[in-house]
Amino acid sequence: GTGFSIGIWLVASPENSSAVWIANQGDPPVTKDDALKLTDEGLKLLLQHSEGRLISNISTSTDAFSASMLDSGNFVIYDSNFNVIWQTFNHPTDTIMAGQVLLAGSELVSSLSGTNHSSGNFHLIMQNDGNLVLYPVASPDTPGDAYWVSRTNGDGYLNKRDDTSVSCNAWRGWDLPVIFSRSRVKHTTGFS
Q: What is the pLDDT of residue 82?
A: 92
Angle at 49 between CA 47 and CA 52, to 5 degrees: 35
pTM of the model as a whole: 0.72
Query: What is the average per-residue pLDDT within 159-185?
Result: 45
Q: What is the pLDDT of residue 57?
A: 59
Closest Cα to residue 74, out of 60, 61, 86, 56? 86
Distances (CA, A) of 97 to 26, 54, 127, 172: 20, 24, 20, 21
Q: Which residues pair with 167 in a beta bridge?
A: 159
Q: What is the pLDDT of residue 174?
A: 38
Rg (C-alpha) for the chain, rounded Å, is: 17
Helix (H) or strand (E) holding 42: strand 42-46
Which pairs from 49-55 meet CB under 8 Å and 24+ separation? 53/27, 55/23, 55/24
Distance CA 51, CA 2 (A): 22
Domain coordinates of the chain in residue numbers?
95-190
Q: What is the pLDDT of residue 135?
A: 92
DSSP code for 91 = S
Tell me the pLDDT tens digit for each residue of 75-111. Answer: 988 888 999 988 889 888 888 888 888 888 888 888 8
Q: Which CATH architecture has domain 95-190?
A: Orthogonal Prism (2.90)
Q: Identify which has the larger pLDDT, 161 or 181.
A: 161
Give the pLDDT band (50/70/90) at residue 173. Answer: very low
Tell me the pLDDT tens digit for each residue of 28-55. Answer: 677 777 777 776 666 676 776 566 665 5
